[in-house]
Structure 1
Amino acid sequence: MVTLNVSGKRLLDSLDRLATFGGRPDGGVDRLAGSAADLQARLWMAEHLGSHGLESWTDEVGNVFGHAPGVRDGRLLLGSHTDTVPAGGRLDGAYGVMAAMEVLTTLHEHGHPAARSVEIVSFWDEEGAQPESSGGMVGSTALCQSPHLAVIDSYIELHIEQGPRMERMGQELCVVDGIVGVDRHLIRVVGEPNHAGTTPFPLRRDAGRALVRTAAVVQDLLRSVHDTVVGNIGSLSLDPGAPNVVPGAAQMVLEIRAPHEQSLTRCAELVLDHAEAFAEEEGCTVEQRLLSHKPVVEFDDGMRTLLEKVALSTGRPTGSLYSYAGHDAGVLSAHVPTGMIFVPSAQGVSHSPREHTPDHLLVQGAQVLLEAVIAHVESRAVADSSGSASGTAHAGA
């Protein structure tokens, strides 16, 4: 059997061209969903597909799809997103879309039968970076609620890691086991505002002090639950917020990420226990509210096995891990068998103009995606023929 190879030059040229839409002098990209640069990039993608004999269409949400003429139902969907955060990088999301386009183009130009079983997509507004956005994953969520989902039977997403783990472990490819769960909690401490100059320490009901004492131990508490847990306090406020007033109320938003639901629950319990203890010592009370919960995503076992086999066949250093960032694959996984592949991010930098992955690793990732597509389509054809044969034999009996 002749082995197909993606065109590394064409892939890298596509990435370069896409980066001109919203490109910044510092090498970053401003291509927020719905911006002029985003819309221009989507038009270019559709034109690019057409120039290679492929067909494209855009749904009512803004997702851009591409496929070969005569595409069948039961399609393997490939893709990611091309929108960015402000001052973002040129690879986040974009790499997965350009690699998907390169894979489909390679299959089509060589007349490979798998071309008619593949569809690609650039999802609308994955980032949710606009102030009026509903939180991201807009296009993938819309697809999963649309009639078009009926013709999709599986999904693979290729992406940069956006973190430092692969590079530190010397891995060139990683099969993603799933996506961590994310909980956000509002923790509010209520005390009593008073004059900061005339109120002695022992007589204060200082909500700010109780909250800050809690914030100071959050990292240690989360690490005590499991070494896979991370968290963040990126929003903290004191009320009334004056230098000479003891805070009568204080609140923070605590975000917890973990690959196990029980870890999310235990972390929240520990932090709340400590917040209540500190608040009691300061003469305050605590209110807690779960703002949002994104459950842990586990990708399809069969898809993970197939991707691992293909990645290992390259002979390159390969591993597996959970993604700590959200992806469209997490949305699709609730509806169709889904798999995900990572390539390393240099120094773990992402959402930044310094976002970078060496060219040879980008090309290697796209080649693995191509081989995974062929393997998946062929294995599905074998399964379908076996099922048909057994059905015929049963009918004859």
Structure 2
Amino acid sequence: MSATPGVSARRLLDDLDALAAIGGRPDGGVDRVAGTAEDLRARRWLAEQMRARGLLSRTDDIGNVFGHTPNAAKRRLLVGSHTDTVPAGGRLDGAYGVIAALEVLTTLHEHGHPAADALEIVSFWDEEGAQPQSPGGMTGSTALCADPHLAEITGFVELHIEQGPRMELAGQELCVVDGIVGVDRHLIRAVGEPNHAGTTPFPLRKDAGRAMARAAAAAHDLMQSVSDTLVGNIGSFTLEPGAPNVIPGAAHLVLELRSPHEDALTRCAELILEHTRAIAAEEGCTVEHRMLSHKPVVAFDESMRTLVEKVCRSTGRPAGSLYSYAGHDAGVMSAHVPTAMVFVPSTRGVSHSPHEHTPDRLLTQGAQVLLETVIAHHDSH
């Protein structure tokens, strides 16, 4: 049996640098929001790189950039991620998965490996959803799943930085992702009575702002009491009418909850609502509630996860496992084709920041695991 080809660490890292320069900022971050001139230039650059390496490239109607060999098979494994960023984002989020996919296809094609013809790579359009007119991100992968081209895809693998601290804290260099957590968003509104803030004694107030502030202050402890797998946030808090001399007649917040367990999401929301209603009653207020959105828990394909785990074990690179607490294109794809996702650690857990970083050795190792996964998938099919 011929030796497994090895990715070029130098080319991988040089390509990451070249892509980061498109929309690059003086602080080391990247501004490449979907649809901007920098984003479009990056997509053109990617297509040019594919063609320069003897590959065929195309951009579909939504903006996804695809690449494959001239003799590509009719059905192919899809590998990739996204190259758009949030404002003042990092150089690795999404971009690493795309550049690693390019490196894998380039290496296999150079070596004449049969897995090259059974592989297609992609940079999805607008994963981040950072533009006001975006439908919420995952735009390109969602469009692909409604496109006839999906019938030519045998599966999807996405290599990505973790974007959190868990791998680094556990000393893990690779993780096979079990799935993506469910995400619920709730609008909770307290209704009291607006009145003059200077002339109304405290005992006579129905202060919706105070009621909601008390509820918000207790929310984190309530979240942690439900499950150690659950996290949440209150990132939006509004007082009505919002004047310094008017007691708030209403106040609302947006609560976001994330967990790999649907029952934990439900129990936590119920607990916080129960607590909020009790506080509101003490303050002479009532509570209104509306669920804004529900994204169910995603579990990745077991056979694909097992394939990646075997690749890691067979090469002496044992991988951990975890759920992703951030959304990814892999979550969209998993509803339609067998999907796997692989993480490398993020230094100090920092992401969506100019300080985003993963050591070069781990970036290269992740790309090599991706290559060997592509070969293993080809051999198993």
Counterpart of 1:79?
A: 80
| Residues in 1 aligned to 2:183 and 2:277: alpha-carbon distance in whole angstroms | 23
One-letter code aligned to 1:125: D
| Residues in 1 aligned to 2:35 and 2:241: alpha-carbon distance in whole angstroms | 38
| Residues in 2 aligned to 1:341 and 1:172: alpha-carbon distance in whole angstroms | 10
Counterpart of 1:389?
A: none
Structure 2 residue 110 is matched with structure 1 residue 105: no
Counterpart of 1:347?
A: 348
Counterpart of 2:20?
A: 19
Counterpart of 1:7?
A: 8
One-letter code aligned to 1:263: A
TM-superposition CA deviations, 1:169-219 (whole Å, max 9, x none): 000000000000100000000000111222122211110111111101111
Counterpart of 1:166?
A: 167
Structure 2 residue 326 is matched with structure 1 residue 321: no
One-letter code aligned to 2:47: A
| Residues in 2 aligned to 1:114 and 1:313: alpha-carbon distance in whole angstroms | 19
Single out whichever of 365-374 and 194-203 deviates more from structure 2: 194-203
TM-superposition CA deviations, 1:55-80 (whole Å, max 9, x none): 00010000000001121122100000
Counterpart of 1:360?
A: 361
One-letter code aligned to 1:304: R
One-letter code aligned to 1:158: L
Single out whichever of 303-312 and 293-302 deviates more from structure 2: 303-312
| Residues in 1 aligned to 2:58 and 2:158: alpha-carbon distance in whole angstroms | 20
Counterpart of 2:200?
A: 199
Contact kept? 1:170, 1:317, Cα under 8 Å: no
Question: Secondary structure of 1:232's partner?
Answer: strand
One-letter code aligned to 1:129: A
One-letter code aligned to 1:339: A
Counterpart of 1:116?
A: 117
Contact kept? 2:82, 2:124, Cα under 8 Å: yes
Structure 2 residue 302 is matched with structure 1 residue 292: no
One-letter code aligned to 1:140: S
**Structure 1 residues 1-397: aligned runs within 5 Å:** 1=1, 2-316=3-317, 318-380=319-381
One-letter code aligned to 2:221: D
| Residues in 2 aligned to 1:353 and 1:196: alpha-carbon distance in whole angstroms | 44
TM-superposition CA deviations, 1:144-165 (whole Å, max 9, x none): 0011101001000000000000
Shift of 1:316: 3.4
| Residues in 2 aligned to 1:317 and 1:347: alpha-carbon distance in whole angstroms | 22
Question: Secondary structure of 1:208's partner?
Answer: helix
Shift of 1:367: 0.1
One-letter code aligned to 2:364: V
| Residues in 2 aligned to 1:74 and 1:270: alpha-carbon distance in whole angstroms | 48
Contact kept? 2:193, 2:248, Cα under 8 Å: yes
Counterpart of 1:383?
A: none
Question: Secondary structure of 1:57's partner?
Answer: strand
Shift of 1:241: 1.2
Counterpart of 1:390?
A: none
Contact kept? 2:34, 2:126, Cα under 8 Å: yes
| Residues in 1 aligned to 2:4 and 2:241: alpha-carbon distance in whole angstroms | 68
One-letter code aligned to 2:148: P
Contact kept? 2:173, 2:344, Cα under 8 Å: yes
Q: Indicate the percent of aligned positions where both proteins have the same amino acid.
A: 74
| Residues in 2 aligned to 1:297 and 1:165: alpha-carbon distance in whole angstroms | 19
One-letter code aligned to 1:28: G
| Residues in 2 aligned to 1:73 and 1:140: alpha-carbon distance in whole angstroms | 20
Contact kept? 2:309, 2:318, Cα under 8 Å: no
Where does structure 1 differ by over 6 angstroms across 4 or more consecutive aligned residues? none
Question: Secondary structure of 2:183's partner?
Answer: strand
Shift of 1:243: 1.9
Question: Secondary structure of 2:272's partner?
Answer: helix
| Residues in 1 aligned to 2:73 and 2:319: alpha-carbon distance in whole angstroms | 33
Shift of 1:317: 5.2
TM-superposition CA deviations, 1:257-308 (whole Å, max 9, x none): 0001111111110111011111111111100000011110000000111111
Shift of 1:246: 1.1
| Residues in 1 aligned to 2:364 and 2:380: alpha-carbon distance in whole angstroms | 24
Question: Secondary structure of 1:167's partner?
Answer: helix
Shift of 1:133: 1.1
Contact kept? 1:21, 1:37, Cα under 8 Å: yes
Counterpart of 1:395?
A: none
| Residues in 1 aligned to 2:161 and 2:312: alpha-carbon distance in whole angstroms | 15
One-letter code aligned to 2:28: G
Counterpart of 1:392?
A: none
TM-superposition CA deviations, 1:84-121 (whole Å, max 9, x none): 00010000000000000000011111010111110000
Shift of 1:315: 2.5
Structure 1: give runs of 5+ residues left out of the alignment.
381-397
Contact kept? 2:231, 2:259, Cα under 8 Å: yes
